[in-house]
């Protein structure tokens, strides 16, 4: 079950001529107030309307017009500027507050028994003055947050080329499955005899993940990929300690995901980094020098973060196991080999899987998430307890695991996400899952081919797998950095790719199209990237100002990092409702 996010939510924009390196000078300019452009007409169609044509004269032209003209291929772009053209910027909900307004009201309490307030809530736990909250009507409340939602970006609106994130479309059949009352209304404390269907789903999902990874058993307790990393490392530590062979170090590549060293430290190990070869693969000589009897594990993803398959992985496994270490598979890039190759067959002992990546469950938003951990047979006893087991024709929680590392979650994982992942597996089937990997690799290589004339590749190895890392070194020499390119994409209706990662690539632009994007979307994104390259070559200054069409312009990220203001601090006018002094914030903090 796959899909894309093209169609009705797109705003058409003028498509420029190719970059000079691939067929001629740029002649078009971007709609919606792009570099050098004039105002945009909201004549029939508005943000979701028909194609927007460019006026004669390119970057120096007049206002953009919606008058009939020659048909041009349209960008598949999201109207970032939908709210930017309003006469008034969206104010904070606090700034919309008016004393006495309410979104709801409650009865005065007549007839209810009186309660002793001191007994119900001792004075030490009560505020000395009311907390300052916005006072708004229901209409204002709903409109404010609806307007903000319309300015947000989402996978249901447009393309996310974020490398290493696998931002694929989330099929709605999985959402429908998770919303079934028999799943959605369960409570994690219900006894096993009341939730047999849910336990069967977990058992079947575990079997499928073990089959796909080539390993023996799984736990669903980790609530995210990084949580799965920590769980796997704690299991590896328990394994070595059970053999009276405690170890101190975990080795990672220099292109590793940032969560890898953080998880290593949290699990109580020291980090050792090994270099990449000129090809962008693990340097076997560097790895061999780093390995000794104090190494607990080597963590790596395959394909790696440069989008390259580690073709020497069998030798890597031989070297790591040769010193008694465990081989850990970071499953962030599993989408590229899904149904085609299995980590267990490569020699991996531990695998965490990011269900929001490979199995199309929703990303982010603060959760919930799921990062199941799958292990080889010799590590099964150390998995978190309890686990689901089949007992005859019934299922139950098995808590009798004396060597378990214990719980890593208050319950047994985020069940709704697991339902979505299982629905995705069933919707695709074996052949469909292999097709996921094939299309992900095809899309990445097609997009790279479109962009390779204008942008340099971070490492020269080809073909890539599911993603690739460009370098904006050429554009930097012309006056436009990777960040400028990313901001320029916003003005062209696209979410930027991952920038400045991996750290071993100068001016890195990391792109992952996933298998769910159409050819039209890939071509539209490539056109935008090529137009930006042409702009950088001709005059990079407009890129330094980007974005100019989004509701918020370019932020001072350096200042934000040095002087973080994590929340709004209200002014202290005497006519406003009083608040606890702790809510005011330091007097020297800005109030915007």
Residue after which a domain boundary falls, among 364, 399, 427: 427
Q: Please indicate, yes or no, whether residues 549 and 451 belong to a single structural domain of this protein.
A: yes
Containing 219, the helix (H) or strand (E) segment is strand 217-219
Question: Does residue 394 share a domain with residue 261?
Answer: yes
Task: Mark whether 206 and 328 lie in a shared domain.
Answer: yes
Residue 580 lies in a domain: no
Domain assignment of residue 59, yes or no: no
User: Is residue 93 in a domain?
Assistant: no
Output the furthest CA–CA distance in the chain (Å, rounded): 81
Flag the least confident range among 63-72, 277-286, 438-447, 470-479. Answer: 63-72
As a whole number, the mean pLDDT across the chain is 84
400, 470: one domain: no
Q: Which domain holds residue 364?
A: 173-183+195-427
- What does each C-alpha distance from 334 to 132, 303, 526, 588 come to in angstroms? 47, 8, 25, 48
**CB contact at 8 A, 470 and 508:** yes
224: DSSP letter = S
For residue 53, give the DSSP letter.
B
Worst-scoring range by mean pLDDT, 36-50, 93-107, 572-586?
36-50
Residues 77 and 86: their CA atoms lie apart, in Å, by 20
| Residue 117 maps to a domain | no
On whether both 384 and 471 belong to a single domain, the answer is: no
All residues at 6 or more sequence positions from 521 whose CB lies less than 8 Å from its CB, including other chains: 4, 5, 6, 76, 159, 513
Can you give the CATH number for the domain in which 258 is found? 3.40.640.10
Cα 145 to chain centroid distance, Å, stands at: 23
Q: Which pLDDT tens digit goes with each residue over 88-138?
A: 578 889 888 999 999 988 888 778 888 888 889 999 999 988 888 899 999
Sequence-distant (≥ 6) Cβ neighbours of residue 432 within 8 angstroms: 1
Give all strands (DSSP E) within 94-226, no chain letters: 217-219
Residue-wise pLDDT for 177-234, tens only, equals 999 999 999 999 999 999 999 999 999 999 999 999 999 999 999 999 999 999 999 9
Listing DSSP states for 121-136 in one string gives S-GGGS-SS-------
407 and 453 assigned to the same domain: no
Q: Would you say residue 147 lies in a domain?
A: no
Residue 577 within a domain: no
User: Is residue 420 domain-resident?
Assistant: yes
The number of folded domains in the chain is: 2
Same domain (yes/no): 300, 214? yes
Q: Is the backbone peptide bond immediately before 368 cis, with ω within 30 degrees of 0?
A: yes
Asked if residue 481 is part of any domain, the answer here is yes
Within this chain, do residues 229 and 368 fall inside the same structural domain, yes or no? yes
Q: How far apart are CA 565 and CA 114, in angstroms?
A: 42
For residues 325 and 451, membership in a common domain is answered with no
Specify the CATH number for the domain of residue 465. 3.90.1150.10
Q: Are residues 457 and 421 in the same domain?
A: no
Q: How far apart are CA 69 and CA 67, in angstroms?
A: 6
Q: What is the number of helices (H) and of strands (E) in the chain?
A: 17, 13
The answer on pLDDT for 152 being more than 90 is no
What are the C-alpha distances in Å from 158 to residues 451, 486, 518, 524?
A: 20, 16, 11, 11
Same domain? For 223 and 366 the reply is yes
Asked if residue 368 and residue 331 are part of one domain, the reply reads yes
Q: CA nearest 27: which of 50, 53, 56, 52?
A: 56
């Amino acid at each position: 079950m796959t899909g894309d996010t093209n169609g009705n939510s797109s705003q058409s924009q003028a498509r420029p001529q190719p970059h000079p390196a691939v067929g001629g000078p740029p002649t078009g300019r971007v709609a919606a107030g792009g570099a050098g452009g004039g105002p945009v007409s909201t004549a029939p169609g508005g943000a979701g309307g028909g194609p927007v044509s460019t006026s004669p004269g390119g970057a120096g032209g007049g206002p953009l017009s919606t008058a009939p003209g020659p048909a041009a291929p349209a960008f598949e772009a999201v109207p970032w500027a939908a709210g930017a053209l309003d006469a008034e910027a969206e104010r904070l909900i606090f700034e919309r507050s008016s004393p006495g307004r309410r979104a709801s009201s409650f009865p005065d309490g007549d007839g209810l028994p009186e309660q002793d307030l001191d007994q119900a809530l001792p004075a030490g736990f009560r505020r000395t003055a009311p907390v300052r909250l916005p006072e708004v009507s229901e209409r204002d409340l709903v409109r404010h947050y609806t307007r903000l939602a319309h300015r947000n970006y989402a996978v249901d609106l447009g393309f996310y080329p974020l490398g290493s994130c696998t931002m694929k479309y989330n099929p709605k059949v999985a959402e429908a499955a998770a919303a079934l009352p028999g799943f959605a209304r369960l409570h994690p404390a219900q006894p096993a005899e009341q939730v047999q269907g849910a336990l069967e789903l977990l058992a079947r999902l575990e079997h499928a993940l073990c089959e796909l990874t080539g390993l023996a058993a799984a736990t669903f307790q980790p609530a995210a990929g990084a949580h799965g990393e920590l769980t796997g490392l704690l299991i590896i530590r328990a394994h070595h300690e059970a053999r009276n062979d405690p170890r101190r170090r975990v080795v990672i590549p220099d292109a590793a995901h940032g969560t890898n060293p953080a998880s290593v430290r949290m699990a109580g190990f020291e980090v050792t980094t090994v270099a990449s070869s000129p090809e962008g693969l693990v340097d076997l000589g560097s790895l061999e020098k780093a390995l000794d009897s104090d190494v607990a594990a080597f963590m790596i993803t395959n394909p790696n973060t440069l989008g390259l398959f580690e073709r020497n992985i069998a030798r890597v496994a031989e070297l790591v196991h040769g010193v008694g270490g465990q081989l850990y598979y970071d499953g962030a890039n599993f989408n590229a080999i899904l149904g085609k190759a299995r980590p267990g067959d490569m020699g991996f002992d531990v695998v965490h899987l990011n269900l929001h990546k490979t199995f199309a469950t929703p990303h982010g938003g603060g959760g919930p998430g799921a990062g199941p951990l799958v292990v080889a047979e010799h590590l099964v006893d150390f998995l978190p307890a309890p686990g689901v087991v089949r007992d005859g024709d019934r299922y139950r929680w098995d808590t009798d695991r004396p060597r378990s590392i214990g719980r890593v979650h208050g319950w047994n994982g985020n069940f709704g996400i697991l339902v979505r992942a299982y629905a995705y597996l069933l919707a695709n089937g074996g052949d469909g899952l292999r097709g996921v990997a094939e299309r992900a690799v095809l899309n990445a290589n097609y997009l790279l081919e479109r962009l390779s004339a204008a942008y340099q590749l971070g490492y020269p190895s080809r073909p890539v797998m599911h993603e690739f890392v460009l370098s904006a070194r050429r554009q930097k020499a012309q006056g436009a950095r990777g960040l400028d390119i990313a901001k320029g994409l916003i003005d062209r209706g696209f979410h930027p790719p991952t920038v400045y990662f991996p750290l071993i690539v100068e001016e890195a632009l990391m792109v992952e199209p996933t298998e769910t994007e159409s050819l039209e979307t890939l071509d539209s994104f490539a056109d935008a990237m090529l137009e930006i390259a042409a702009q950088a070559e001709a005059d990079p200054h407009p890129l330094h100002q980007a974005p100019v069409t989004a509701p918020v312009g370019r932020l001072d990220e350096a200042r934000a990092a040095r002087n973080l203001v994590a929340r709004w601090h209200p002014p202290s006018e005497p006519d406003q409702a009083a608040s606890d002094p702790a809510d005011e914030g330091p007097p020297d903090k800005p109030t915007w």
